[in-house]
Amino acid sequence: MTDPDPAATRVLVLNSGSSSVKYQLLDMADGSRPASGIVERIGEGEVADHAAALKIVADELAAQGAGLDSPALVAVGHRVVHGGTRFTEPTLITDDVVAEVEKLVPLAPLHNPANITGIKVARRMRPDLPQVAVFDTAFHSTMPEHAARYAIDTATADAYGVRRYGFHGTSHAYVSRAAARLLEREPGETNTIVLHLGNGASASAVSGGVCVETSMGLTPLEGLVMGTRSGDLDPAVIFHLARVGGMSTDEIDTLLNKRSGLLGLCGDNDMREIGRRMAEGDRAAQLAFDVYVHRLRKYVGAYTAVLGRVDAIAFTAGVGENSAAVREAALRGLEGLGVEVDPVRNAVRGSASRLVSSGNSRVAVAVIPTDEELEIADQAYALVTDAAQAPSDWNIPLRNKYR
C-alpha cells in the first residue's frame, strides 16, 4: 500500500445510498472519467439488495473495459454519510474501521447501513485494494463547540451523541475552495457562505477554508427548507403532534422528513415545477417558494454575522446551480450587507463556475457546480499515494487542501 504502482492512477468512487448505488471511475493522471453509472431501485424486484447492485456495478465496469480487476485501479473511495465524532478525516478502511462505522448506525439508520454494505462487498471483490472512507460529516468537524452544542442537558446530550454534526461536507469543502479559486484567492484567506441546494439542502459558513457553522445538525433534518424536509421548527411541534394529533414517533419522522418542505407546502418538491406553477399564479407554489427563500435569507444574514467578513456566497447543487429565481429572491435587498446580484449575469445559464454579482457588490456571488466524486477521489488518492501535489488541476498542495 505504501508503494502503489505509479501506473495505477484510477480511483473508483462508490456512493451506496439507501435505494441506489452511484459509481464513477476517475483517472487522476489526466482528469478523465472512463466510466460511470447508477443502479437504482434496490430492493424492488430485479435488484434484490446492495450485494446484487454491486455485482451489477462490477459487470458494467467490465463491460466499459474498466473491470474491478484492472491493475490501473489504485483505490476505491466510499462516501460514508455519518462519521460521528470518531472520523474527521478520510480514513483507510480496515475491519476495525468497518466496526466503528457500524457503531454509528443509530445516528444514521437510513444511510450508514447501505454505505457499510457497499464497503463490505467491494472489499470482498478486491481485498488487496486500498479502500478509503470519505465522511459527509468530516468537513464540519472543525465547528467550534459553541456551534456544535445544542443547549440541552450536557450529560443527556453526551450519553446519546446528541450534537450538531452537519452533512454534505464533501460538497461544502469542494465548493468553498472552488469559490476561492474563482476569486483568485487562497482558500485560507477567504470567507465563504456555501448554499448547497439540492433535494436536501444545507448552508455552511467557511472561515479561511475551515467550516465554523453549518445548518444541518444531528441529522439532515435541521436547517433550510428542503424538497421534502421541514428544516428548522420548534421542537414542541413534535410533542404537540404526538399529544394532540395522536401521531407516533415514526409517523412524525415520516411527516417531517418525507412529507414536508416544498412538497408539504405545495404538493411539489421540484423547483422547476414550482416555477412553472408560480408563472400561472398558483398561490400555494408561490408561498412554498417564499418560505424557501425567506429561510435562505435568514441563514445568509446569520452566517454573515458569524463570519464577520464575507468574501463570497456560493450557490451549488440542483437548485443552487440552476434556479436564477431562487438566487435572486434569496439575496434581494441585501445591498446593506454588500451583496448585489447582477440580473443579467444571474440569468445566464451554464455549466461552469461563474460570478453572478454586480461589479459594485462587495461580496462576490458565485455559482459553483459541485463535484463530490472528484473530491472523494482526490481525498482517497491523496491518502493512498501520500501525494504532495493535487492530482487534478487544483494546483493546490493536497496536504494543505484538507487542513
Considering the rule CB under 6 A, would residue 227 count as an interface residue with ligand ADP? yes
> Would you say 136 or 311 has its CB closer to ligand ADP?
136
Among 179, 317, 364, 382, binds ligand ADP (CB under 6 A): 317
From the candidates 59, 69, 136, 371, which is the catalytic residue? 136
Q: Of 30-38, 76-84, 232-240, 316-324, which part binds ligand ADP (CB under 6 A)?
A: 316-324
Between CA 93 and CA 110 the distance in angstroms is 21
Burial of 158 (0-12, 13-18, 19+ CB in 10 A): exposed
Among 323, 357, 379, 392, binds ligand ADP (CB under 6 A): 323
Closest residue to ligand ADP, based on beta-carbon distance: 318
- Residues forming beta bridges with residue 37, ordered by sequence position: 23
- Is there a binding annotation on residue 321? yes
- Is there a binding annotation on residue 79? yes
Question: What would the grid cell of residue 128 be?
Answer: 488487496
- Is there a binding annotation on residue 240? no
Question: What would the grid cell of residue 94 be?
Answer: 480496515
The closest of 194, 196, 203, 88 to 134, measured between CA atoms, is 88
Check if the beta carbon of residue 400 is closer than 8 Å to that of residue 205.
Answer: no
Site for ligand ADP in 26-55 (CB under 6 A): none
Question: What would the grid cell of residue 168 be?
Answer: 454534505
* Min separation Cβ 383 and ligand ADP, Å: 25
Considering the rule CB under 6 A, would residue 318 count as an interface residue with ligand ADP? yes
Among 240, 243, 272, 309, binds ligand ADP (CB under 6 A): 272
> Would you say 100 or 270 has its CB closer to ligand ADP?
270
> In this structure, how many other beta carbons lie within 10 angstroms of the beta carbon of residue 322?
18
Helix (H/G/I), strand (E/B), else coil: 267: coil
Among 67, 198, 208, 338, binds ligand ADP (CB under 6 A): 198
Between CA 379 and CA 371 the distance in angstroms is 13
Helix (H/G/I), strand (E/B), else coil: 20: coil
Among 60, 100, 270, 342, binds ligand ADP (CB under 6 A): 270
Considering the rule CB under 6 A, would residue 319 count as an interface residue with ligand ADP? yes
- Is there a binding annotation on residue 270? yes
Site for ligand ADP in 329-388 (CB under 6 A): none
The closest of 255, 292, 253 to 271, measured between CA atoms, is 292
342 is catalytic: no
Distance of CA 172 to the CA centre of its chain: 6
Q: Of 136-144, 149-157, 266-274, 337-345, which part binds ligand ADP (CB under 6 A)?
A: 266-274
Residue whose cell numbers read 465496469: 61
Spell out the alpha helix ranges (H) of 133-201. 145-148, 154-159, 169-182
Among 91, 117, 137, 322, binds ligand ADP (CB under 6 A): 322
Q: What is the DSSP string of 189-211?
A: G-EEEEEEESSSEEEEEEETTEE
**What residue numbers does the annotated binding site for substrate cover?**
79
Binding residues for Mg(2+), as ranges, are 15, 372
Query: Which active-site residues does the annotation give?
Result: 136
Enumerate binding residues for ligand ADP (CB under 6 A).
Answer: 198-200, 227, 270-272, 317-319, 322-323
